[in-house]
């Protein structure tokens, strides 16, 4: 770890900063504006969920192309273009006056903030590091975890202090001020190529099909992706429809926001622990545990009506996301190698974003029809099935 920090301090800082600011494109941030949008556009939460879902859906279809472009582009230029358009997307969001402008703003924020910025960091790390890949992915997660702890409270403060329009203008300005210099100065000389002896990893279980044309036709890839989408799908649904979960426990939005701090801390600690373990024993031995804390968290929330249940649930969320952050990016490199990793990650991200696009609407219908408790029963069933599918898929990869 020290060796990596000494050799690539600028790149590590670059990935941390990207991880932090990607939080502005995530559901836990964007959903804070739902109430303001209802009042501004005079539409209900179900209509917002549909627009949000459709925008995310269309964004997901571009991700394989984005991944392919990332494989061929200079990292600094690609990042700079992404950041400029992300900043402009929040300025557009601040000016929404109808559902069509809302759709375009959501589309850009979800494509660039939720998807492209995280894709840049994880792909660059997975392509460049082998021996220390898990540890470097853990370092990258410092920014992501800090964002999840700070950004919700920061956005709530902006919204209550300045209003909808000004809040999004401030966010757009901050993205430009912090991320444009990051793209220009921190990665101006960095190329996504194997770095020295760090590209050796004794834990790799490479597929015998290294050509991307063969990989994309392999049914195992899609089983693996299907097993991985549950986390994003479920957390998007919960975060977007926070009002249902807040009402079920009879708490305030401030308590809900404070739970993100616990979520952030637990995620950060678990990412480092599992990142270290990935370097030692390989991600494929650890990734199967990522849904178990999520199941436990929902069971606690469902069966104990107390505000501490929220904090326990969010701690379990953080543990699951921490395990996923440390293992998922590394797993793809261990199985497929680095040559076409941008394309593979693009396809993987497309399906993840696709699942998050339908989550708001599905959760809206489910929560309205059956209530929170029955919805949690369905969520846990999905998590159990996904765990079994993940186990099966990795067994198939190891046999060939």
pLDDT in tens, 76-129: 888 888 989 999 999 999 999 999 999 999 999 988 988 888 888 777 776 666
CA-CA distance, 101 to 397, in Å (whole number)?
A: 45
Looking at every residue in the chain, the average pLDDT score rounds to 82
Residue 2 has pLDDT above 90, yes or no: no
pLDDT at 394: 78
pLDDT in tens, 264-291: 889 888 888 887 787 777 777 788 889 9
Residue 376 has pLDDT above 50, yes or no: yes
Inter-residue contact 225 to 351 (CB < 8 Å): yes
CA-CA distance, 120 to 141, in Å (whole number)?
A: 13
Is 3 inside any structural domain? no
Is 201 inside any structural domain? no
Average pLDDT over residues 363-382: 90
**3-state secondary structure (DSSP) of residue 1:** coil
- CA-based end-to-end distance of the chain: 32
Q: Is the dihedral of CA 391, 392, 396, 397 positive or negative?
A: negative
Is 194 inside any structural domain? no
The Cα-based distances of 107 to 34, 53, 93, 217 in angstroms read 16, 9, 10, 29
Is 93 inside any structural domain? yes
pLDDT in tens, 245-267: 888 877 777 788 788 889 888 98
Which two tokens mark 17? 């900063």
Is 257 inside any structural domain? yes
pLDDT in tens, 186-236: 776 555 555 544 555 545 555 544 566 666 667 777 888 888 889 989 998
CATH number at 247 reads 1.20.1250.20
CA-CA distance, 31 to 28, in Å (whole number)?
A: 6
pLDDT in tens, 311-364: 999 999 999 988 888 787 677 767 776 666 667 777 777 788 788 888 888 998
Which residue would you say has higher pLDDT here, 357 or 380? 380
Residue with tokens 């109808």: 98
Average pLDDT over residues 52-56: 88
Inter-residue contact 223 to 394 (CB < 8 Å): no
pLDDT at 209: 45
pTM of structure: 0.73
Is 296 inside any structural domain? yes
Question: Using alpha carbons only, how large is the chain's radius of gyration in Å?
Answer: 20
Total count of domains within the chain: 1
Reference 241, options 53, 4, 13; nearest CA is: 53
Question: What residues contact residue 134 under an 8 Å CB cut-off, 6+ apart?
Answer: 274, 275, 276, 277, 278, 279, 283, 326, 327, 330
CA-CA distance, 223 to 329, in Å (whole number)?
A: 16
Which two tokens mark 20? 């932090």
Is 195 inside any structural domain? no
Query: Domain range for residue 306?
Result: 8-188+207-399
Count the neighbouring beta carbons within 10 Å of the beta carbon of residue 73.
16
Is 197 inside any structural domain? no
**Exposed e or buried b for every residue in 248-280, given b needs 16+ CB within 10 A?**
bbebeeeebbbbbbbbbbbbbebbbebbebbbe
Reference 56, options 123, 107, 5; nearest CA is: 107
């Amino acid at each position: 770890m020290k060796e990596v920090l000494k050799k690539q301090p600028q790149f590590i800082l670059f990935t941390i900063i990207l991880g932090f600011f990607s939080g502005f494109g995530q559901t836990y941030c964007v959903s804070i504006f739902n109430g303001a949008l209802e009042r501004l556009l005079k539409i209900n939460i179900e209509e917002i969920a549909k627009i949000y879902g459709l925008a995310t859906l269309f964004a997901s279809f571009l991700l394989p192309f984005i991944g392919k472009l990332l494989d061929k582009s200079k990292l600094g230029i690609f990042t700079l273009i992404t950041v400029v358009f992300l900043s402009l997307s929040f300025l557009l969001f601040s000016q929404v006056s109808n559902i069509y402008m809302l759709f375009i703003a959501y589309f850009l924020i979800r494509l660039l903030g939720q998807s492209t910025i995280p894709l840049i960091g994880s792909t660059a790390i997975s392509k460049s590091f082998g021996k220390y890949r898990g540890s470097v992915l853990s370092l990258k997660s410092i920014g992501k975890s800090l964002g999840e702890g700070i950004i919700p409270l920061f956005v709530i403060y902006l919204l209550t202090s300045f209003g909808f329009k000004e809040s999004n203008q401030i966010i757009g300005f901050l993205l430009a001020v912090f991320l444009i210099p990051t793209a220009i100065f921190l990665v101006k000389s960095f190329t996504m190529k194997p770095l020295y002896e760090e590209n050796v990893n004794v834990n790799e279980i490479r597929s015998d099909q290294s050509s991307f044309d063969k990989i994309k036709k392999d049914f195992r890839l899609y089983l693996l992706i299907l097993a991985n989408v549950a986390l994003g799908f479920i957390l998007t649904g919960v975060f977007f429809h926070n009002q249902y979960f807040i009402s079920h426990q009879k708490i305030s939005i401030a308590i809900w926001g404070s739970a993100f701090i616990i979520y952030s801390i637990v995620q950060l600690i678990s990412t480092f622990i599992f990142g270290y373990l990935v370097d030692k024993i390989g991600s494929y031995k650890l990734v199967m545990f990522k849904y178990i804390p999520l199941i436990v968290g929902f069971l606690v929330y469902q069966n104990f009506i107390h505000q501490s249940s929220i904090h326990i649930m969010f701690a379990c969320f953080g543990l699951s996301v921490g395990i996923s952050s440390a293992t998922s990016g590394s797993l793809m490199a261990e199985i497929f190698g680095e040559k076409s990793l941008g394309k593979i990650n693009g396809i993987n991200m497309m399906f993840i974003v696709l699942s998050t696009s339908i989550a708001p609407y599905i959760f809206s219908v489910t929560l309205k029809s059956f209530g929170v408790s029955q919805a949690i029963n369905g969520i846990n069933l999905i998590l159990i099935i996904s765990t079994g599918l993940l186990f099966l898929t990795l067994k198939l990869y190891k046999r060939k």
